[in-house]
């Protein structure tokens, strides 16, 4: 098992140079539109658009495929569920249709995240919710919280790799029966969460020391 963080891949492709606000709006339109598609021809066109976008973005296909593995599993479960509910070719076709739609939708969101820097995403998010300032909504605080969430993605990856290396050094068997793997990985994730809480405490103390949240009177 390998943790693959959804982080920005630097590049100079047309999608990298495109404004983050435009990409988010296109992704929103694509996400809404794909749920109105009812035929395989329409879904094929959506999937083809995602494949073309992957080619234009020039992001590592192996990395995208690795991040899509959990989605493949969910798509397979969707197909299996529909076959069990309707044991016929129609049930199988419906399950496959939902699975392909799920993969295309998630892959499209990955393209936006992999071709847009975190700072550009945050600027776009702040721009979209900017009008809420007139309603006294703390826009900057919300954007800062999102920035911290993005910053913790590589921290999670680092913690996970550290715990996995520590378990291997102690001779923990990461293969074998499913029950054994479940026990080992359960302990690993517990250690990861403990490490993340430690990072969160340190961050809270640092923010408190810098008087974050204080308002001028």
Residues 142 and 112 in one domain: no
Report yes or no on 62 lying in a domain. Answer: yes
Structural domains of the chain, count:
2
pLDDT for residue 74: 80
What does the pLDDT read at residue 45?
A: 92
pLDDT of residue 25: 92
Does residue 47 form part of some domain?
yes
Residues 105 and 160 in one domain: no
pLDDT score, position 78: 78
User: Rounded to whole angstroms, how far apart are CA atoms 20 and 124?
Assistant: 6
Query: Considering the domain boundaries, does residue 123 fall inside one?
Result: no
pLDDT at 165: 74
With a CB cutoff of 8 Å and minimum separation 6, the contacts of 40 are 97
105 and 164 co-located in one domain: no
Cα–Cα distance for residue pair 153/140, rounded to 1 Å = 21
Positions of the chain with pLDDT lower than 50, given as ranges: 1-4
Query: How confident is the model at residue 2, as a pLDDT?
Result: 46
Q: How many helices (H) and strands (E) does the chain have?
A: 9, 0
Determine the pLDDT at residue 97: 87
Q: Can you give the pLDDT at residue 12?
A: 86
Q: What pTM was computed for the model?
A: 0.67
Q: Are 87 and 68 in contact (CB under 8 A)?
A: no
Separation CA 114–CA 5 (nearest Å):
10
pLDDT confidence of residue 176: 57
| Residue 110 and residue 51 share a domain | yes
- Residues 152 and 187 placed together within one structural domain of the fold: yes
Tell whether 24 and 107 lie within a shared domain: yes
CA distance 12 to 98: 34
143 lies in which domain range?
138-209
Q: Are 28 and 112 part of one and the same domain?
A: yes
pLDDT, position 127: 85
Residues 73 and 147 in one domain: no
Using one digit for the tens of pLDDT, what is the confidence trace for 32-67?
A: 998 998 899 999 999 999 999 988 888 888 878 877
């Amino acid at each position: 098992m390998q943790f693959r963080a959804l982080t920005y891949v630097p590049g100079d492709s047309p999608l990298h140079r495109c404004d983050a606000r435009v990409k988010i709006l296109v992704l929103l339109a694509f996400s809404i539109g794909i749920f109105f598609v009812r035929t395989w021809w329409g879904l094929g066109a959506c999937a083809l658009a995602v494949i073309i976008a992957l080619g234009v973005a020039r992001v590592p296909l192996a990395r995208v495929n690795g991040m899509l593995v959990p989605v493949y599993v969910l798509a397979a479960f969707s197909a299996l569920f529909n076959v069990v509910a309707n044991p016929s070719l129609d049930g199988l076709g419906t399950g496959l249709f939902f699975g392909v739609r799920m993969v295309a939708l998630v892959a499209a969101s990955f393209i936006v995240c992999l071709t847009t820097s975190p700072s550009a995403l945050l600027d776009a998010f702040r721009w979209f919710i900017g009008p809420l300032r007139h309603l006294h909504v703390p826009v900057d605080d919300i954007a800062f919280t999102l920035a911290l969430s993005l910053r913790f993605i590589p921290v999670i990856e680092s913690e996970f790799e550290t715990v996995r290396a520590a378990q291997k050094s102690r001779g923990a068997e990461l293969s074998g029966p499913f029950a054994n793997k479940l026990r080992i990985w359960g302990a690993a994730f517990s250690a990861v969460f403990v490490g993340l809480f430690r990072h969160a405490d340190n961050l809270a103390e640092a923010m408190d020391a810098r008087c974050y949240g204080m308002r001028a009177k």
